[in-house]
Amino acid sequence: MTQDNIMRLFRETAYVRTGGSAAELRAAEYIAAECQKLGVGAKIVPFEVDMAKIKRAELSVNGKKIPCKGYFLCGSGEVEAEICYIPNTDGFSLAECRGKIAMIDGYLGYWVYHDILENGAVGFITYDGDANYVDRDIDQRELRSYVSEGKKILGVNINVKDAIEIINNGGGAAKITVEQDEFKGESRNVVAEIKGTTDRVIVFTAHYDSTSLSQGAYDNMSGSVGILAALEHFAKANPRHTLRFIWCGSEERGLLGSKAYTASLSEEELSRIDLNINLDMIGSAMGKFIACCTSEDKLAHYIEYMGKEVGFGISASCGVYSSDSTPFADKGVPSLSFARLAPHNTATIHNSYDTLDVISAEQMIKDIGFINAFAERMANAGVCPVNREMPDEMKKKLDYYLFREREKK
């Protein structure tokens, strides 16, 4: 794949494409058409997702209206209470939120949500953005169904500048109003396959959806272009392993595409998958290239050795990467994610600054070259060298990541 072609792909997908939206379908159709150009047919496979349409969302603090966006799927209604800022989640801090609207730093994670719920919070406020940025953007957040587990309280998201002002003014009496329609919709995976000489399978994944403010060039059209380049590389190569390419929808909503795909497979189908290679954020002009392996540690060692062999800077380790490799690993498939992690002051994600400006076509070529060289070794191995047994340490980390068990701090 040439640098010109790479940048064409970024330019033609430079729009917001949130999971379950018409724009996501447009991007899925585009990817399928690009596969067809390379001589490989692709299917668009829909799966059900929870959706919402906000009709009204308001926040007032001490009578002053604060710009906000209501959380998708948090229900509808109105709540009035004092604000309680919770920077810590110790027992004392949580006890302070009883009967109040909790203001939370960062994302509304599973354990934080259930902590404030169990301690009697009646609503919540989150914030995003950067106090040093000129914009006053507000991301559209959702109370994910697997987080709420059907227990809903009203919530809104605001810009960090307003959050700071609220706390500097001592908090005060707040009123949250949210009206929304909640319904079932569709998101989509795009699936293409190159048959091998055996029925053993290696799966490539990358998500192609974005968050509500973002064109998602870095996160993660870069990975989507990366596996399209891998498909082009192998299209006429007659590999030993069957190679499956999955562009996952709704990753930004909680890995929903890869979860839906792995849930759709029988035990026999899963048992034939030897490895998952996931790409999530590559090709940035700045940053270090890493591999995060949810597998035996020998895979991480192999990748670092290979980097030295071919002359490519990379650091590899074992752990759970927050991307579409995780649902495969949770099904027992050795998985890894490749990423080029840029410093936050050179490339950011989940905001309006994630555009093709942070992408280097030259670096994309280098990253793709290493990924394809690694994939070629795996695809043509007599037997996939990665042990298909998930170490107990990785199982424990997956339990923590997927909220089946709470990690003790």
* pLDDT, tens digit only, all 409 positions of the chain: 999 999 999 999 999 999 999 999 999 999 999 999 999 999 999 999 999 999 999 999 999 999 999 999 999 999 999 999 999 999 999 999 999 999 999 899 999 999 999 999 999 999 999 999 999 999 999 999 999 999 999 999 999 999 999 999 999 999 999 999 999 999 999 999 999 999 999 999 999 999 999 999 999 999 999 999 999 999 989 999 999 999 999 999 999 999 999 999 999 999 999 999 999 999 999 999 999 999 999 999 999 999 999 999 999 999 999 999 999 999 999 999 999 999 999 999 999 999 999 999 999 999 999 999 999 999 999 999 999 999 999 999 999 999 999 998 7
Residue 358, pLDDT score: 96
Whole-prediction pTM: 0.97
Asked: is 3-49+186-401 a CATH 3.50.50.60 domain? The reply is no
Helices 361-379 and 3-12, interaxial angle, to 10°? Answer: 100
Taking the CA atoms of the chain, what radius of gyration do you get in angstroms? 22
| Positions of CATH 3.40.630.10 in the chain | 3-49+186-401
| Positions of CATH 3.50.30.30 in the chain | 57-180
In 3-state terms, what secondary structure has residue 247?
Answer: strand
* Cα–Cα distance measured from residue 87 to residue 85, given in angstroms and rounded to the nearest whole number: 6
355 and 284 in contact (C-beta within 8 Å)? no
Count of other CB atoms within 10 angstroms of residue 399:
15
Asked: is 57-180 a CATH 3.50.30.30 domain? The reply is yes
Contacts of 187 (CB under 8 A, 6+ apart): 19, 20, 24, 46, 47, 49, 209, 249, 250, 253, 256, 257, 260
Residue 115, pLDDT score: 97
Count of other CB atoms within 10 angstroms of residue 278:
31
Mark 3-22 as b/e (b = at least 16 C-beta within 10 Å): eeebeebbeebeebbbbbbe
* Cα–Cα distance measured from residue 144 to residue 122, given in angstroms and rounded to the nearest whole number: 18
Residue with structure tokens 């998958």?
273
Residue 236, pLDDT score: 87
- In order of 4, 151, 189, 334, 337, the CA distances from 21 in angstroms are 29, 25, 13, 31, 26
